[in-house]
Structure 1
């Protein structure tokens, strides 16, 4: 009986997997689907927590409560020990993460038909950029949460390396592979030598040439698209009567998945009320208060996310913004999106090149770019990678399942 599992706690989606005689098996976590959106909704009316698609559904149906997404982004930050206020009480972010991962574990055990006492958790190459202490603390926090959930053995594997293990299960020849894992919160790269002969070995340290990552992912792309196309409709960029710019902090909160709830606080409302006499554009100011009072910013964030995804297949999207104004529609082009995330794409490309530099490997030596992660399909990202590695062939992994499946392979190697 397999007592170990792999869990990919993702910024946007999470998976769990085990290794069987037939290979890695992703477990169905919700409605027959192997992904569980990393979302928690506290329903004030029923005093209950809902998870995944059910959480998003209750929020969209208009139940009173609080929705949390992108909780993984809180790991390593000074917000992890803070919380969000719901119904007159504070829900600690650390506890919410624990409740969510505990739900993943419980559902995975139900699907597997037995309990798990060992887990390999995926982790980005960097939880936090340029702060080793905060990065280490993020892993420690996640390990403590897993231990509190009853896992006796907890270990970690870099997410792109886990994806490489999944890819290696089906290759037929040796390849030098750059794994390009663009998730919801981070972009991670691993340069690794893979082959059919190597995949059975426990010690792969000689095959892993380098890993690098940057704290940029799909939710950052959402934020930049929102700041470019949605937040100006609420007043971003407006001037106050005294000549100063309207404070931007509220718009950054509203455009960022894991800080949206901060825009709903009493303190933020008081700050905005104090600005009212100095406002020049009352139409957009009223729109801002409407979104805050209705707590509809998550609806807007979902529309932005849907637009981002659609722009991978079409050149232009008509984004309806009925939460702001029933008649408001913004036409968003693929080029507008590319312009909005240009700086982020440059930093992601630099992280890819840093991976090669660490290994002392030339661009021409890379055989394969293995793409995984939900944001890996963004056209601007793919164009940048193609320009950096013109001779490498692109291979598509399972955008949401490669990491989880690879973690199951690692769990088998470590725990039997």
Structure 2
């Protein structure tokens, strides 16, 4: 496999690795047992001193092992948190080092599949890491590149994730067409309009084929967050008032507790003391007692996981139940698809607006789109799929590999760049 080249899709929720030989077909590598995807999660165990990755990390955390659980680290790139450190066991680590720890694990997996060290990689990146700042967006890419180089990837290049998904889809085409790629990932949503075709696929430089590319910082974890805020955080005290009815309790504790990459920041003695103090003056102190339990037992990611499972269930069902059961606490809340869509309508509106912007940027009308390629786990959300396809009633809708198409396209791109 020494003549093969590698692509790495470091995702907010899941990650993949691929290898591709020049002129060949890319293949995803098994990254966790026989699995072709690995959850982008780490668990630093205080019980045995080991670092666990992926599904094993999730298992250790959910099983109640003592330690530090980290997930959705990609969402931190370009944010102020990247300039901070966090306590992991007996040491403090930067978030870039934490991301590097995960990338190191993937590099070792990659080299087990190759007969030579791998020092060149094409990494996927969203169209926008950060919506509101070009400088912060570039800084996010630089931070990810720095983390990769620190783990031995001397030559790092980037490809937009929706473009990578299109490159893989294009490998099976027999005629030229204009396509819209809708890539709804765990932390970002990207939209690219491209000219695709078998002849164009042979070109080393595809810049002229990219007609328009837009992106927004909206992804699957945002849908989780808003569903959590709507249905579960009120059970912990969100929206409650003081006993005298004069003021509402601070909301930021609950908003952060519903946000994957902010949950760990609440596990401090000060926040726990704050919640105990609020319980003494709250009109519904029993709700704050639940929040106290959640903080004391570091149950935030378990709750977020329960919300995520309900969201996934609502893809195919009209009703689901968000359920968290552990010693000393049971939380349950039914939710309908209609309630979920109402809670997350603002996210769908932002996705719809970004699709409109991609058409405007490309200088074409909806009728020019011949194929809509849906990829990413979030594209399976019914309201998102409707928004992605509503403008294009005559277009073919192609459901690409939800979790593998970007990684496969990155491998294909790597073979073309590095061969």
For the aligned pair, the TM-score class normalised by the smaller chain equals over 0.9
The answer to whether the aligner puts 1:300 opposite 2:303 as a matched pair is yes
Are the structure 2 counterparts of residues 233 and 404 from structure 1 closer, same or farther at C-alpha, using a change threshold of 3 Å? same
Unaligned runs of 5+ in 1: none
The aligned residue for residue 148 of structure 1 is 150
Q: TM-score when scaled to structure 2?
A: 0.96
> Residues 370-412 of structure 1, C-alpha deviation per residue, up to 9 Å, x if partnerless?
0111111001101222323222221011111100000011111
Distance 1:54 1:397 in 2: 27
Are the structure 2 counterparts of residues 271 and 162 from structure 1 closer, same or farther at C-alpha, using a change threshold of 3 Å? same
> Residues 42-71 of structure 1, C-alpha deviation per residue, up to 9 Å, x if partnerless?
101111211001101111111101110000
User: Which runs of structure 2 are paired with 1:248-287 in the superposition (5 Å)?
Assistant: 248-287=251-290
Are the structure 2 counterparts of residues 325 and 343 from structure 1 closer, same or farther at C-alpha, using a change threshold of 3 Å? farther
Are the structure 2 counterparts of residues 300 and 327 from structure 1 closer, same or farther at C-alpha, using a change threshold of 3 Å? closer
The answer to whether the aligner puts 1:39 opposite 2:6 as a matched pair is no
The aligned residue for residue 7 of structure 1 is 8
The answer to whether the aligner puts 1:329 opposite 2:335 as a matched pair is no
Whether contact under 8 Å (2:31, 2:106) holds in the other structure is yes
The aligned residue for residue 109 of structure 2 is 107
* Alignment: residue pair count: 416
Q: Once structures 1 and 2 are overlaid, which stretch shifts more, 334-343 or 323-332? A: 323-332
In the alignment, which of 313, 317, 326 is matched to residue 314 of structure 1?
A: 317
Q: Once structures 1 and 2 are overlaid, which stretch shifts more, 315-324 or 378-387? A: 315-324
Distance 2:14 2:8 in 1: 11
Distance 2:115 2:375 in 1: 29
Are the structure 2 counterparts of residues 327 and 255 from structure 1 closer, same or farther at C-alpha, using a change threshold of 3 Å? closer
Whether contact under 8 Å (1:287, 1:324) holds in the other structure is no
- Runs of 4+ displaced beyond 6 Å: none
Task: Using the TM superposition, give the Cα deviation of residue 22 of structure 1 relative to its aligned residue in structure 2, in angstroms.
Answer: 4.2
The aligned residue for residue 339 of structure 1 is 342
Report the aligned-residue RMSD: 1.4
Whether contact under 8 Å (1:210, 1:356) holds in the other structure is yes
In the alignment, which of 19, 23, 27 is matched to residue 25 of structure 2?
A: 23
The answer to whether the aligner puts 1:363 opposite 2:356 as a matched pair is no
Whether contact under 8 Å (2:276, 2:289) holds in the other structure is no
The answer to whether the aligner puts 1:131 opposite 2:133 as a matched pair is yes
Unaligned runs of 5+ in 2: none
Q: TM-score when scaled to structure 1?
A: 0.97
Q: Once structures 1 and 2 are overlaid, which stretch shifts more, 313-322 or 57-66? A: 313-322
In the alignment, which of 396, 402, 405 is matched to residue 402 of structure 1?
A: 405
> Residues 335-392 of structure 1, C-alpha deviation per residue, up to 9 Å, x if partnerless?
1110111001000110111011001110011011101111110011012223232222
Distance 1:43 1:259 in 2: 20
Task: Using the TM superposition, give the Cα deviation of residue 228 of structure 1 relative to its aligned residue in structure 2, in angstroms.
Answer: 0.6
The answer to whether the aligner puts 1:414 opposite 2:408 as a matched pair is no
The answer to whether the aligner puts 1:66 opposite 2:84 as a matched pair is no
> Residues 187-225 of structure 1, C-alpha deviation per residue, up to 9 Å, x if partnerless?
001100101111111011111101000000000000000
Task: Using the TM superposition, give the Cα deviation of residue 33 of structure 1 relative to its aligned residue in structure 2, in angstroms.
Answer: 0.9
> Residues 6-44 of structure 1, C-alpha deviation per residue, up to 9 Å, x if partnerless?
100000000111113640111110011111110000101
What SS class does the counterpart of residue 199 from structure 1 fall into? helix
